[in-house]
Chains A and B, each alone.
Chain A
Amino acid sequence: MYEISRTHADYLRTIRRHKHIVHISRILILLSFLFIWEFTANVGIIDSFIFSSPSKIVQCFAGMAADQSIFLHIGVTIYETLLSFLLVIAISILMAVLLWFSPKLSEIADPYLVVLNSLPKSALAPLLIVWLGANKTTIIVAGMSVAIFGSILNLYTSFHTVDAGKLMLVYTLGGSRFHALYKVVLPCSLPAIISNMKVNIGLCLVGVIIGEFLAAKEGLGYLIIYASQVFKMDWLLMSILLLCILATILYSLINLLERRCRRRY
């Protein structure tokens, strides 16, 4: 290997230092936040009954972990979120393909999709309870309702913006519209499909929590509502923290998928 010049070494060092500072600052902010929270709650500056404290949250978690009830709640929320997410992906790809195949259909459906997409989906939740009952189906449908319309519109747009030259190529090679779909449109749209997934996993979680607020006997959303009603702030804040962690994990899973796809590209 050739020698690294002094200026280049300096440059590399600056980059490394920059990264260190960012990392350390992030961790410091979290630690000092937790410390100040714990400290002020302990000496009585804030009321730990209302604001809870990190140690109380950990205790609460340990208690619920001991009787395994917390895992049930987490598991139910994950299950509902993943199921509604997978359904959203499958249905929206299918619908976008249909719309792509038929420009007439897409023009007819366009205003409906736009209206449904801009409708606040939480307004639908009470309706879903009446129609589907206070059960998991309602929650999963609520999760789907938040994401699906935007997802269809997004995918359709990305299907539509595929390079015309590439489509032309398939037709000049004697291909049908079906070939154009799975040789060009779908592979071309893979990045768009994945970035669409990234948005949808978060939206499905939102929808599922809304559903659990209204129609659940288990799950983190249920836990949050129940805790606020009986004023158990430890439970409430713990559930929110768990949701933070859950959302992060789900998002990074899709990130991982994206990186794997990109390597194949």
Chain B
Amino acid sequence: MEQVLELRHIYYSYHTPEGETPALADISFSLSKGEFIAIVGPSGCGKSTLLSVICGLLSPEKGLIRINGKYMRESTTNIGYMLQHDELFEWRTIFNNVILGLEVQHMLTAKTKEKAGELLDLYGLGNFKNSRPSELSGGMRQRAALIRTLVLDPDLLLLDEPFSALDYQTRLQVGDDIGQIIRKEGNSAILVTHDLSEAISLADRVIVLSGRPSTIQQTIPLIFDLDRDTPLARRNAPEFKTYFNLIWEELNANV
């Protein structure tokens, strides 16, 4: 199967005058097209660092990253990054927030604008194009943030605990929503989270990281036998609990 992303022996450390803190050690994995990976691990273990390295905000000290078969530097692949907070700008309307990435990448044309409008309509924000972010609920804001990422047509989506700022009920709904949107658009995605049930309900495969410095402790493929494989349906499936316990034990194995 076609590989969107390949990481080989990635190392990364943070440097401060007080010393060096290794964050990632020997991380290797790959992601196929259309696959959804969740990465879980103890807090502060370097999960977000890993995403920053993948999208090129940080350069690894050692190791190789290949995206769509090309090395990081030559790659022109679009990577979409969804942050913990929606970071919608209050001085822009929802529509203008959604086209921010297009503006920044000089891709703002009649066609891309139309696409942005269509995505907003498709995912239930059509009536809020001209609203300010503060007029939207937390879930709607997070959806707008996702559309802002999707409108750039990313080959790879990175999700950095995108639901953790939401209250529990909204979180389940938005997780379901966004999970289905990503499946429907056929995106390859990496989700970083500390919420095990979120990871299990969304992903095809869960990677368990160890504490600092992070190494890959275990990779667990998730297989659900469901007619409609949605995040909420998974939460009710009998396999859910088994996977939960499996990952839970993995996480606590070397604490």
Contact = CB atoms under 8 A, between A and B. Distances in A.
A171 B57 CA distance: 8
Interface string A213-226: 00000000000000
Interface in B137-151: 148
6 contacts: A166-B87, A168-B83, A172-B55, A173-B152, A179-B104, A264-B91
B101 interface: yes
Interface residues of A, number: 18
Contact of A165 (B78, B83, B104): B83
Interface string B73-93: 000001001011101011100
B94 interface: no
A165 B87 contact: yes
B105 interface: yes
B103 A183 contact: yes
A173 B55 CA distance: 10
Contacts of A98: none
A165 B85 contact: yes
A175 B104 contact: yes
B100 interface: yes
B85 A183 contact: no
A173 B91 contact: no
A91 to B, nearest CB: 25
Contacts, number: 45
Interface string A240-265: 00000000000000000000000011
A170 B104 contact: yes
Contacts of A75: none
A172 B81 contact: yes
A187 B103 CA distance: 15
Interface of B: 55, 57, 78, 81, 83-85, 87, 89-91, 100-101, 103-105, 148, 152
A187 B78 CA distance: 27
Nearest to B78: A174
A171 B104 CA distance: 9
A6 to B, nearest CB: 34
Contacts of B81: 172-173
Contacts of B85: 165
A163 to B, nearest CB: 8
A190 B91 CA distance: 10
A172 B152 CA distance: 12
A163 B83 CA distance: 13
Interface in A140-163: 163
A187 B87 contact: no
Contacts of A36: none
A199 interface: no
Interface in A184-234: 184, 187, 190
A169 interface: yes
A265 B133 CA distance: 11
B105 A174 contact: yes
B140 to A, nearest CB: 18
Contacts of B100: 169-170, 173, 183
A21 B104 CA distance: 54
A187 B89 contact: yes
A172 B148 CA distance: 11
Given A169-B87, A183-B100, 15 more contacts: A165-B83, A165-B87, A168-B83, A168-B87, A169-B83, A172-B83, A173-B100, A173-B101, A173-B105, A173-B152, A174-B105, A174-B152, A179-B104, A184-B89, A190-B91
A187 B89 CA distance: 9
A147 B114 CA distance: 48
A166 to B, nearest CB: 5
Given A168-B83, A169-B83, A174 B101 contact: yes
Nearest to B158: A172
Given A171-B57, A172-B55, A172-B81, A183 B104 contact: yes
B120 to A, nearest CB: 17
B153 to A, nearest CB: 12
Contacts of B148: 173
B225 to A, nearest CB: 36
B84 to A, nearest CB: 8
A30 B152 CA distance: 63
A166 B89 contact: yes
A43 B245 CA distance: 97
